[in-house]
């Protein structure tokens, strides 16, 4: 498989592509949760019910965010390991 990076076509293994996809997905979801929580807390100033919803949802979102951070860190470590192994070859 090949990947285009900075205008260059490079070969990439399936594991490299999978890890890169996991990185992008985890980062995107984490960013989405962050924006959603900030927006909900911001709106809670004007809509008091949203404050209760935000507080109730914060625990669940926090746990999901922690899982996504762990997935992201594991993906970074896997990406480094795969890159180092492919450079040694």
Q: What is the 3-state secondary structure (H, E, C) of 38-51?
A: HHHHHHCCCCHHHH
Cα gap 20→31, rounded to integer Å: 16
Q: Give pLDDT, residue 16.
A: 72
Banded pLDDT at 10 (limits 50, 70, 90): low
Between 85 and 55, the more confident residue is 85
Domain ranges of the chain: 19-88
pTM: 0.47
User: What three-state secondary structure class fits 20?
Assistant: helix
How much is the mean pLDDT over the chain? 73
Using one digit for the tens of pLDDT, what is the confidence trace for 13-39?
A: 777 777 777 777 777 777 777 777 777
């Amino acid at each position: 498989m090949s990947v285009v990076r900075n205008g260059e076509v490079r070969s990439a293994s399936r594991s490299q592509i999978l890890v890169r996809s996991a990185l992008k997905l985890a980062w995107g979801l984490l960013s989405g949760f962050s924006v959603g929580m900030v927006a909900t807390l911001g709106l809670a100033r004007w809509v008091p019910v949203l404050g209760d919803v935000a507080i109730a949802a914060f625990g669940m979102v926090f746990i999901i965010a922690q899982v996504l951070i762990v997935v992201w860190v594991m993906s970074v470590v896997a990406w480094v390991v795969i890159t180092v192994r492919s450079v040694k070859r």
